[in-house]
Amino acid sequence: MLVVDVTDDRADNVEVSQTGSTVADYNPTYPADDPVISIVFVENEHELGLWEKDADLKAGRNPDTPFGELIADAVPDDRRRYSYPQSRLREAEYHAEDGDG
């Protein structure tokens, strides 16, 4: 999972596309007033590497933009995003393979 957006919107105010339900409805054991976090699922390290490369190019054009926003911009628009209440997610360490076997 890769975070692509952190919002100030509450889980009980964010509707899940075409369902009529909110993020809070889908996550009843989490606070309804949690901020909503949007993520994409990363298929493999190669895919993430492509996004990082694109983000690095964008960073060269606008050094004041935070890296997280650059990654969000680098993720293709047709990529499905999923919304979760913030307290449902936990930060994980990412360890890229160094390719040395």
Chain segment 4-59, per-residue pLDDT in tens: 778 889 999 999 988 889 999 999 999 999 999 888 877 766 666 666 666 666 66
Looking at residue 101, its pLDDT comes to 42
More confident residue, 81 or 98: 81
Alpha-carbon distances, residue 11 vs 17, 42, 48, 90 (angstroms): 13, 23, 27, 17
Question: What is the β-pairing status of strands 82-85 and 35-40?
Answer: antiparallel
> Is the whole model's pTM more than 0.85, yes or no?
no
Is a pLDDT exceeding 90 seen at residue 96? no
